[in-house]
């Protein structure tokens, strides 16, 4: 079982404070304990933070033009993102991460935008949406504890580097539990690479639908944006074909991938009516060195 990790180094917050010593065990139990012990300060909305300056740029990214095709849709998604509330300490971490890794910060906002749109199409406006958009924004939070060399290394990764990357769900979930207490972001961080049990880490039970939405949104955002390990980004059709194939292989929830296709087509009518077509000839990157991180067979404990 890959269900716990000993930390490789001290876990340090953005002010330099040690959060946990090297060797501390992160598991479902320690994540739950951190959430129970957390006393988050009252939240501030994203609109009140410097991250607000990044929202228009994220929504205007060409990779999202099909999903956010009208000014009205873009404005609605923008309102959801601006209403995301987090405690000041969490915003400090987000801003520190923005300075360290702008590409991942952009990925976080794009994933939140895609998630917000999918939720709006799937469920209409609901009070839970800003919380799930927050979860989407924070899903890769654990990458801040992965060494920058590994986080930006060319693909395919060496086995040891891949193992370190595979630890980011634990690190993100534990750190977010400490900052936010019980919050959908904790599960989204822990389970966004679960892939219906074919990914990592091993979980005692399947994650919520909200986390499935974040996982599909993160994959779509990553496929449609430039990455150092491939010559071009996928266009939305190419990205959808990848995700449909993944759903066919049992790695993604088919109904969530259908929701994405439905949203890309404008979101009118029923997502359930979407039928996956057969393989088409679509634009794919000429050069692509991406290799999926395979799930570690078991924990080192």
Binding site for Fe ion (CB under 5 A): 140, 218
Closer residue to Fe ion (CB): 140 or 212: 140
Residue with smaller CB distance to Fe ion, 67 or 274: 67
199-207: long-range pairs with CB below 8 Å, 24+: 199/251, 199/295, 200/2, 200/166, 200/169, 200/293, 200/295, 200/296, 201/2, 201/3, 201/166, 201/169, 201/170, 201/295, 202/1, 202/2, 202/3, 203/3, 203/28, 204/28
Q: Which residue is nearest to Fe ion (CB)?
A: 218
Shortest distance in whole angstroms from residue 59 CB to Fe ion: 18
Q: Sign of the CA dihedral 125, 65, 99, 194?
A: positive
Minimum Å gap between C-beta 115 and Fe ion is 11
Return the biggest CA–CA distance within the chain.
Answer: 53
Question: Considering beta carbons, is residue 94 or 274 the nearer one to Fe ion?
Answer: 94
Q: What is the dihedral of CA 277, 283, 285, 291, to 10 degrees?
A: 0
CB of 276 to Fe ion, least distance (A): 23
In the bound state with Fe ion, the residue whose beta carbon lies nearer, of 68 and 221, is 221
- Considering the complex, what minimum distance in angstroms separates the CB of residue 33 from Fe ion? 23
Residue 239 beta carbon to Fe ion: minimum distance, rounded to whole angstroms: 14
Query: 11 has which bridge partners?
Result: 20
The continuous run of DSSP H or E covering 25 comes out as strand 25-27
- In angstroms, the CA 93 to CA 96 distance is 5
Task: Give the span between the Cα atoms of 44 and 56, in whole angstroms.
Answer: 19
Nearer to Fe ion, 165 or 274 (CB): 165
Of 136 and 274, which CB lies nearer to Fe ion in the complex structure?
136
At its nearest, how many Å lie between Fe ion and the CB of residue 201?
A: 12
């Amino acid at each position: 079982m890959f269900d716990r990790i000993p930390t490789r180094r001290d876990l340090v917050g953005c002010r330099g404070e040690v959060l946990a010593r090297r060797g501390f065990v992160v598991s479902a139990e320690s994540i739950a304990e951190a959430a129970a012990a957390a006393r988050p300060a009252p939240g501030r909305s994203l609109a009140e933070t410097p991250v607000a300056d990044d929202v228009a740029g994220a929504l205007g990214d060409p990779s999202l033009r099909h999903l956010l095709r009208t000014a009205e849709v873009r404005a609605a998604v923008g309102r959801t993102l601006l209403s995301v509330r987090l405690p000041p300490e969490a915003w400090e971490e987000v801003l520190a991460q923005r300075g360290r890794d702008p590409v991942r910060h952009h990925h976080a906002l794009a994933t939140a935008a895609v998630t917000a749109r999918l939720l709006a199409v799937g469920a209409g406006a609901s009070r839970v949406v800003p919380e799930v958009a927050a979860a989407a924004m924070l899903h890769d939070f654990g990458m801040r504890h992965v060494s920058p060399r590994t986080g930006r290394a060319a693909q395919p990764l060496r086995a040891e580097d891949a193992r370190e990357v595979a630890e980011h769900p634990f690190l993100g979930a534990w750190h977010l539990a400490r900052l936010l207490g019980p919050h959908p972001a904790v599960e989204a961080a822990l389970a966004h690479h679960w892939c219906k049990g074919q990914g990592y880490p091993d979980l005692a039970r399947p994650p919520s639908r909200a986390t499935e939405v974040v996982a599909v949104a993160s994959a779509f955002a990553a496929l449609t944006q430039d990455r150092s390990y491939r010559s071009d980004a996928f266009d939305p059709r190419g990205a959808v074909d990848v995700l449909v194939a993944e759903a066919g292989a049992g790695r993604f929830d088919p109904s969530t991938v259908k929701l994405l296709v439905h949203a890309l087509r404008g979101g009118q009518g029923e997502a359930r009516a979407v039928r996956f077509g057969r393989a088409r000839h679509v634009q794919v990157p000429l050069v692509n060195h991406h290799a999926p991180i395979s799930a570690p067979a078991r924990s080192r404990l």
